[in-house]
Structure 1
């Protein structure tokens, strides 16, 4: 699956209706964002069952603010509606691929039980 552009109106339903959602918060003027974009796109093509979404923080300022975005790029990963990863900064291709595989293998219910 290629990346999708995510808008404020679609954010909650996208996270709720899909098992795994990676969200790249970015802006066109951000150099590291422009470098990370093609990496995000390439990794998305290897994982058709995972949603890779991009949020333009300039166009979706309310969403970026609600998500607590302080710097870009920021990558958030949701599994089964839970935020399981949140980090500012671009990841190299191998690290992003490894992260996706870790999230695929993550047992959310077990992780939640271990926290409680």
Structure 2
């Protein structure tokens, strides 16, 4: 009798985990498109921005504008293959978001050889982002 209760509870738990994993495995939830890599570790983040031209997309999965521009950012990552495109979910890695004083999503911070560009792009202005990308690869 005790084993049957345990098995029922285990079956409910496993069904619940399966259901939750199915909901969270939505590929659109990370919004990564093209050659964009999502980063969830501050050490890896620092390593990736330390060299070469880098575009960092600070986003949130609940952010409507972030979802709308994700395919465009993916296209830019294909257009500029020599630029590293990375995404940081501000809720998964709040330490990186706080370090960069992110107040709105999406916010794009650009780096060239480890040095942060003076200007950042806040919002979905893709023309301004592409102009900034052209500056860091020049």
Q: Aligning the two structures, in what range does the TM-score lie when normalised by the shorter sequence?
A: 0.7 to 0.9
5 Å matches for 1:54-69?
A: 54-69=87-102
Higher helix share: 2
Q: Name the counterpart of 1:12.
A: 46
TM-score (norm 2): 0.69
Are 1:73 and 1:90, in contact at CA under 8 Å, matched by a contact in 2?
A: yes
Q: Name the counterpart of 1:103.
A: 136
3-state DSSP of counterpart to 1:53? strand
Q: Name the counterpart of 1:28.
A: 61
Name segments (4+ residues, structure 1) moved above 2 Å: 94-99
Q: Hey, what's the Cα distance between the residues in 2 that align with 1:95 and 1:63?
A: 23
Q: Name the counterpart of 1:71.
A: 104
TM-score (norm 1): 0.81
Unaligned runs of 5+ in 1: 106-116
Structure of larger gyration radius: 2
Higher strand share: 1
Size of the aligned set, in residue pairs, is 103
3-state DSSP of counterpart to 1:54? strand
The root-mean-square deviation of aligned C-alpha atoms, in Å, is: 1.4
Are 2:52 and 2:83, in contact at CA under 8 Å, matched by a contact in 1?
A: yes
